[in-house]
Amino acid sequence: MTAQSLSPQTLVLIAGLFFTMGYLVINQKILRVLLLIGTGFYLWYYFIAAERPLWEAIAMSSIMGCANLIGLLGLVMRDSKRMIPREHRDLYRRFKDVPPGDFRELMRQAERRVLDPSTAITREGQAVSKLYYVISGKLEVEKRGERFLMPSGMFVGEVAFLTRMKSSATTRLPTGGEVLIWDVDALRKRARRRPRFLMALEAMISRDLAIKVALAVAPHQS
């Protein structure tokens, strides 16, 4: 069968088939590709179905096809690791389960800083205004009179951020420790507007909490 032998009715059937397959697919990229192919067949149909091309239908289908293509490019860019800023690529290895686009969004909201001098970043019983992620340096933690160290690669203030409760411990990072810092109010405001942003942040925090549970030890007995 050649292109010239395809009747208008056949073109409509092929276009409808691609649209139907697209609606049955969960993967957003494949869905959009199938819809683009279907749109192409519909455009072909609109050119040959009548004595003159159906320009109105062609125009609207072209606009919808362009919108679909923009959405597809957005999905590709969201999942492209090449789009992660160079200064944060070393961190993405720690959060590889988070889509690159969501990771970029989180990093845009963060300040990366080396602390000097040694700094108490949370205090037990006080409200938390900043969320921290410790890139390097061992955390000194004091909680209910107990003192212990935690390795880098941890969030600080994440429970207070999620629950809106006060900090449960005093944490201090030694001189030279490197951190990411987010403003809690700005994070919450962003999360209200962008559900995907909140999902990405919660995914990162959930991983962190799982590690902390694995490292936890029973308290000293008197």
Tens digits of residue pLDDT in 123-181: 888 888 899 999 988 888 888 888 888 888 888 888 888 888 888 888 888 888 899 99
- The predicted-structure confidence for 82-112, as pLDDT tens digits, reads as follows 778 787 888 888 877 778 888 888 888 888 8
Provide the 3-class DSSP secondary structure of residue 27: coil
Task: State the burial class of residue 48 (Cβ atoms within 10 Å of its Cβ: 0-12, 13-18, 19+).
Answer: middle
pLDDT tens track for 27-45: 999 999 999 999 999 999 9
Across the chain, the runs of DSSP E, i.e. the strands, are: 111-114, 119-122, 130-136, 139-143, 146-150, 154-156, 170-173, 178-183
pLDDT in the model for residue 215 = 66
Q: Is the four-CA dihedral 24, 28, 34, 35 of positive or negative sign?
A: positive
Report how far residue 79's alpha carbon sits from residue 74's, in angstroms, rounded to the nearest whole number. 9
How does residue 61 score in pLDDT terms, banded at 50, 70 and 90? very high
Identify the residue whose tokens are 């909680």: 143
- Name the percent of the chain lying above pLDDT 90: 27
Hey, what's the torsion of the CAs at 37, 41, 47, 50, to 10 degrees? Answer: -150
Residue appearing with tokens 């490019």: 73
